[in-house]
Amino acid sequence: MKAQRAVAHRPPRVRARTTSIAAFVVLAALIPTTASSAPGTRETDVELPYVCTLPSGPLAATARITAEFPERAAAGEAFAPSGVTTSVQLPAEAVADLAARGAGEVRAATRLEVAVAQGTAGAKATWRGGAEPVALPESGPLTLVSKGEVPSVAGRGDGDLTFTAGALSIDLALDAANPPAADPAATATAAQADAAGPGSGSLTVDCTLAEDAPGQGLLATVPVGEGGSPGPSGSPSPSRGTGESGESGESGAPDPEARGDREDGRSDGSPEVLETTPGAAPDRDDVPPCRYDEQTPPTDVSLNAYVTGYANVNKMDGAAYLPPSCLLIEQGLPVDGPPDPEHIIFDTVSWANFHYQGRKQTPPFPSTFLSFDFAPVKATMVLEQTGPIRIDSRIKLRLSDFTTVTDTYVRAPLVAHVTELEVNGTPLDVGPDCRTETSLTSVDPDPAHHPGDHLVLYGRGEQLIGQEATGYLLLSGGTLSGETSIPAFTGCGTADGEDLDRLLTASVSGPGNHIKQVQGQTCAIAAPVFPTPETPGQCTEDLQPYEIPVAER
């Protein structure tokens, strides 16, 4: 089918809590698992109409998706569709658009959004593929054939697991007519560089599924456990968990708790892992020490705490894990805030520094992602301070019911320093000074008083007198979140090697990267409370934080 155009006392201890998530579909880790073809598999071959936006306007296009799925899967069994190929046919008008930009050949990478659903649970995966360079035809349409591995999936209960195609993006590197690169790793590196910015001969074509797409984009149905009923590929299954419109992941989306949405209805931006099992806290031997020393002596208002969390990297459709890191804090004294007839208001300004081997930085942490051309990229990074971390808290005591609400903003000037890089299994020498040009940046709610580049994280805590606090408070910890832009990279590479600035910038840099950080209970150095079997304390006997928090997605 063809598409048509178209405050004073320390509050009670608070433990970070995860939302109860009633979902059964889980996407596996960042590097996908390859599922080999074997007996018990079946092939899906679906042709779908799309409308793609090019410089000349919206144009009809066709995408053919082929893959092999298991005939049936056991509950909790992870599998990945294998042999995934996405063939996109762009019309002659699109060829004219590309030729007008001086292209003789194109190299493409595709990103297909796939909704995975089981009952009322759902998730979104990105199927990525890379294509060999293709010369533009003198006339007629252009066909781009991309292949790649995809994330693995597991159904956590009985019932049909459905895969439905959604938005499609095509990243095009435009070149004059040159022979195709023989080395796939070289092709990936070149494509990354070409996507770095304006004037680099790149174009991203965004495509939406046409309204008349057969089966509303359904690719396959895989029965899971004993409750799933086999359904043919490319046809709707009665147990898809869709709404009345039948569109998976939209009107039939899981409830807000299952999706990890915020109370205000906006997605919190966290990676879409729909079944979350709280991890066990790391052993103390596995985290760096967090204590004051002769070089950094404590004061009467000194605190220390561990922080951990995740940071999304939008361009990679993945998240980087920040392992437990030591934070040394100097707590500010409260001062009177602005007058308010309904509240008593206090403001505090505290200051903090990361502390790792005497330096103001996090421990090194590795992150593995999938690059522009689906090559695995492993980077070891460190977050380094360029100035002190400022913590602003406003404490509001409501006179009507003596409820205390505390709003906290953490402003941290941090550059990302890449110490090691590996692309497709090949180490690349990044040199000693590979880092972001400036600090990670966020939109500050008060830029007049807080100028400059810095990351902003926000947390709110609430406590009714006589009850346990909820949310984030500086003393008892909790969850902070924010969004950041990752600046361009500089100093990456060596004088006699490859300049890797553009590769990293194209792969990682950009806006809209969600961060979720969990701070543990602080240890008050001047008045420590040691743990007992009856009352978990705030400090160990050597004055380190007793609590090692667990990162939450």
Give the H or E element holding residue 165: strand 159-175
Q: What pLDDT, on a 0 to 100 scale, did the predictor assign at position 466?
A: 73
Alpha helices, DSSP H, located in 115-225: 184-194
Tens digits of residue pLDDT in 129-142: 888 888 999 889 99
pTM tops 0.75, yes or no? no
pLDDT, tens only, 15-63: 332 222 222 333 332 223 333 334 588 899 999 999 999 888 899 999 9
Decide: 54 and 97 in contact? Cβ < 8 Å: yes
CATH class of 27-237: mainly beta
**Contacts with 342 (C-beta within 8 Å, 6 or more apart), sequence order:** 398, 399, 400
165-206 pLDDT per residue, tens: 999 998 887 776 544 444 433 333 333 333 333 334 678 889
Question: What are 411's two structure tokens?
Answer: 């402003």
SS3 for 110-132 is EEEEEEEEECCEEEEEEEEEEEC
- Mean pLDDT for the stretch of residues 258-268: 32
Give me the residue spans of the domains in the chain: 27-237, 284-524
- Apex CA 16: angle with CA 13 and CA 20, to 5°? 135
For residue 286, count CB atoms less than 10 angstroms from its CB and return exposed for 0-12, middle for 13-18, buried for 19 or more: exposed
- How far apart (Å, rounded) are the C-alpha atoms in residues 474 and 390? 12
More confident residue, 231 or 30: 231
Question: What integer pLDDT is reported at residue 180 of this predicted model?
Answer: 41
DSSP 289-319: -----SSS---TTEEEEEEEEEEEEGGGTEE
Run of H or E residues at 353: strand 343-354
